Amino acid sequence: MKVLIVDDSAVMRKIVMKALMEAGHTDLVEAADGKEALSKSGDVDVVFTDWNMPVMDGLTFVKEFRKGSNVPVVMITTEGGQKEVLEAMKSGVTDYIVKPFTPSILVSKLESLIKK
Ligand SMILES: [Mg+2]
């Protein structure tokens, strides 16, 4: 199962990837913005994406990605952005995680999505 991690922060990408790898999910792809994510999203099974990024933000990415894919997309956001994320779910975001999050929250979210 291939997981795409999209965030402009290399540190945040590493945190997410470390949590997933420790849970046995090792087929990971990373992208630093929505545009790069679109170019790497062809055969992924799940996407975790940040909202605020340069070049192309997470919401724009999801809208573009949804034109060609139904795979689950989890938006990672700050607490103040929850209202916006609920709006984003209307645009195709499957679920969301609020920062700061623990590795177990991330992994359980992934595992609940891939069971569906
Ligand atoms: Mg960001």
Give, in order, the Cα–Cα distances in Å from 102 to each of 79, 98, 108. Answer: 14, 10, 10
**Which residue, among 86, 84, 26, 91, has the nearest Cα to 65 in the 3D structure?**
91
Alpha carbon of 76 to ligand 1 centroid (Å) = 9
CB 75 within 8 A of CB 93: yes
Give residue 80's pLDDT.
67
Residue 50 CA to residue 39 CA, distance in Å, equals 16
Supply the pTM of this predicted model. Answer: 0.93
Phi, psi of 55 (to 5 degrees): 70, -65
Alpha carbon of 77 to ligand 1 centroid (Å) = 9
Alpha carbon of 38 to ligand 1 centroid (Å) = 16
Give residue 86's pLDDT.
78
Alpha carbon of 43 to ligand 1 centroid (Å) = 24
Give residue 88's pLDDT.
85
Q: Which CATH class is domain 3-111?
A: alpha beta
**pLDDT means over runs of 10, the chain (116 residues):** 97 95 96 98 96 94 96 86 80 90 92 81
CB 40 within 8 A of CB 4: yes
